Chains A and B, each alone.
Chain A
């Protein structure tokens, strides 16, 4: 518990340090780790909650919602990572510039400050590296980074904001760090499950409680990849969604055949709002996801040994769905800081 106290202490120390010109209600980076998470990682040279971090996060937010970072000027990061859907998309695979489609579901951007692997296949380890890759991806925003930087630099308002947040830092680094700092500030920790973990025994309704018990039981076995607290072990597993000829996932990064069909285990905060599910968005609803696991996956090769047919009753499945719905943080989904 020592680390958690440190986090609380940090918040107390910096609670009066809103960025210059930013109203306290619009602070982005001051947060306490959600229940069951370690204390928030420190962001490089800008402590969360300090004016510098706030300036960078606000700049990152502006960039995140700015469609000028796409070739057509019509697609922003937020187009596919919608705040009211847990920063995920309603489409199985998102539409990028000119309606182009990729192959993977837009992952929810929540509590990523604690992750060590980004993208479904974990190809990069930091948000700084990740944050500009969709800008350049031809199926997403399709804008060379140099052009994105040029567009930003041509805007005097951005120029002032960058000068405030980064003295002597090159534009590309500043752009990456701003987006990363904003994404790192997207912390969701007010769901009924979070409140339960903090000791509120009234937070979960009976069905959700039974579902939680089932979730952490060997009968369902969800906890093998979604451990208590973060609800992700940040690992890569073939959860039975892979079928022969499909997206090979982690294997394309490592070159190992044993990684065939492995994808990153997502955290589950706000999962009821982030459908459709799985790496390809092929599962429409939470009920469908439970059914797929209950069947032991789709029968593809290299399915992990823990993915086996489950002896779940219809009541068990309903309880699991109730628990998953109890991971919804309404304050986060309706947060006015994310327009």
Chain B
């Protein structure tokens, strides 16, 4: 048996195959990508399209862009209903209480957005200002440092940020056994194949309140793609970012869980079927739906740091 025989398509690809069959004759949102986009945001790269070659790189030690750069610290906060939630502690949802037990994702290929709609690529850097490996951040509340990251950007005023909610395609091809963190097995975002990663892994415990009916929020989402075929979405985070050349700069990046859940339950566009037997399951459908729809809703936003 060759290694190919134990290759399994990642969640979303397999689910897509099922859904391509199931939904092939079904209608979908006639105006995808327009319904929920913030009106003040410039258009950006749509999901599921390959990046330009200059963006689609995955270097262990990337070179910095330019020299006139100031550090901006992003502190990630999970929210639900507009209020912060604490990882690992219960919070109220319409059907009861939800407790996050795992929520981690890759964020890469950052850019800041000007009010005029210009996208300014920036480096993800460490505290020392040196670009981090693969220009990729693993957002991970279980790591004391995993909810803070920094970018090095030209001074100026910006209207928001943009990033790949996952990995670019070049990084999706990386072998976790021969890569540096965060592209390793300990990211908990690998899948059983020689290369390829999940983009997001989410798990939660839902304790239903008595008397509630209907589906609660999802309790598991695995969002992935397929190297060379199905790509991570590029998403935007609306909100002002002031980058001062001298003073320290910080901003809060909110991740709205309710919007993430909504995106994970929106219609899915059929995609070409793979040549693999697909795994079934709502987990994968949620992941593929999130992948396809993350850029259509306002999952991320920026607010000033206190």
Q: Which of A36, A237, A256 contacts B88 (CB 8 A)?
A: A256
The answer to whether B1 touches A258, judged by C-beta atoms less than 8 angstroms apart, is no
B residues 81-108 near A (Cβ < 8 Å) are 86-90, 99-102
Q: Is the C-beta of B185 less than 8 angstroms from some C-beta in chain A? A: yes
Whether B185 lies near A227 (C-beta < 8 A) is yes
- Chain A binder among B39-47, B145-153, B162-170, B186-194: B186-194
Q: Which residues of B are found within 8 Å of A232, using beta-carbon distances?
A: 185
Q: Which of B68-88 contact A (CB under 8 A)?
A: 86-88
Contact B188 A238 (CB under 8 A): no
Question: Is A36 touching B8 in the complex (CB atoms < 8 A)?
Answer: no
C-alpha gap A257/B87 in the complex (Å): 9
Q: Does B279 contact A (CB under 8 A)?
A: yes
Q: Does B257 contact A (CB under 8 A)?
A: no
CB distance from A195 to the nearest CB of B (A): 14
A-contacting residues, B129-184, CB 8 Å: 142, 175-180, 184
Which parts of B1-35 form the interface with A (CB within 8 Å)? Answer: 1-2, 5-6, 8, 14
Contact between chains at B101 and A304 (CB < 8 Å):
yes
The residue in A37, A217, A258 that gathers the most chain B C-beta atoms within 10 A of its C-beta is A258
Q: Is B204 an interface residue (CB 8 A)?
A: yes
Instruction: From known contacts A209-B1, A235-B186, A302-B101, infer whether A216 and B6 are also in contact, taking CB-CB under 8 Å.
Output: yes
A22, B179: Cα distance in complex, Å:
35
Q: Find chain A residues with CB under 8 A from B87 CB.
A: 256, 258
- Which residues of A lie under 8 Å from residue B90 when comparing CB positions? 257-258
A309 to B2, CA, bound (A): 30
Q: Is the CB of A233 within 8 A of B185?
A: yes
Q: How far is the CA of A190 from the CA of B260 in the complex (A)?
A: 44
Q: Which residues of B contact A238 (CB under 8 A)?
A: 101
Which residue of chain B has the shortest Cβ distance to A229 in the bound complex? Answer: B177
Task: Tell whether, in the assembled complex, residue A4 and residue B178 are in contact, meaning their CB atoms are under 8 Å apart.
Answer: yes
CB proximity to B under 8 Å, residues A195-219: 201, 209, 212-213, 216-218
| Contact A305/B219 with A216-B6, A234-B186, A238-B101 known, Cβ cut-off 8 Å | yes
Q: How far is the CA of A217 from the CA of B7 in the complex (A)?
A: 9
Q: Which of B2, B86, B99, B204 has the most CB of A within 10 A?
A: B99
The range of chain B's interface size is 35 or more
Instruction: Please give the number of chain A residues whose Cβ is less than 8 angstroms from any Cβ of chain B in the complex.
Output: 38
The reply on B271 being an interface residue by CB < 8 A is no
A residues 211-261 near B (Cβ < 8 Å) are 212-213, 216-218, 223, 227-230, 232-238, 254, 256-259
In the assembled complex, B228 has its CB within 8 A of some CB on chain A: no
Task: Judge whether B88 and A254 touch: CB under 8 Å.
Answer: yes
Q: Is B205 an interface residue (CB 8 A)?
A: yes
Residues of A contacting B192 in the complex (Cβ-Cβ under 8 angstroms) = 216-217, 223, 227-228
Q: Does A306 reach chain B (CB closer than 8 Å)? A: yes
Evaluate whether A305 and B1 lie within 8 angstroms (CB atoms) in the complex, with A1-B175, A238-B101, A258-B88 already known: no
**CB-contacts of A30-78 with B (<8 A):** 36-38
Residues from 57 to 101 in A contacting B, C-beta threshold 8 Å = none
Does B38 have its Cβ within 8 Å of any Cβ on chain A? no
Contact at A212–B6, with CB atoms within 8 Å? yes
Q: Is the CB of A217 within 8 A of B8?
A: yes
Is the beta-carbon distance between B8 and A2 smaller than 8 angstroms? no
Binary flags per residue of B227-243, CB closer than 8 Å to A gives 1, else 0: 00000000000000000
Q: How far is the CB of B170 from chain A (nearest CB, A)?
A: 15
A172 within 8 A of B: no
In the assembled complex, the Cα of A75 lies from the Cα of B283 at a distance in Å of: 48
Interface status of B295 (Cβ within 8 A of chain A): no
Q: Is B252 an interface residue (CB 8 A)?
A: no
- 8 Å CB contact of A227 from B14, B190, B204, B281: B190
What is the bound-complex CA distance between A256 and B204, given in angstroms?
13
How distant is the Cα of A277 from the Cα of B180 in the complex, in angstroms?
Answer: 31
Given contacts A256-B89, A305-B203, contact A235 B188 (CB under 8 A): yes
Q: Cβ of A3 < 8 Å from any Cβ of B?
A: yes
CB pair B88 A38 closer than 8 Å:
no
A–B Cβ pairs within 8 angstroms, 29 of them: A1-B175, A1-B178, A2-B178, A3-B180, A37-B177, A38-B177, A38-B178, A213-B5, A223-B191, A227-B192, A228-B177, A228-B185, A228-B192, A233-B187, A235-B188, A254-B88, A256-B88, A257-B88, A257-B89, A258-B99, A258-B100, A258-B101, A258-B205, A262-B101, A302-B99, A304-B101, A305-B101, A305-B204, A306-B220
* Extra inter-chain contacts (14) besides given A38-B184, A217-B279, A306-B220, CB under 8 Å: A4-B178, A37-B177, A38-B177, A201-B1, A212-B6, A216-B8, A218-B8, A229-B177, A235-B186, A258-B90, A304-B101, A304-B102, A305-B203, A306-B203
* A residues apposed to B, CB below 8 Å: 1-4, 36-38, 116, 201, 209, 212-213, 216-218, 223, 227-230, 232-238, 254, 256-259, 262, 301-302, 304-306
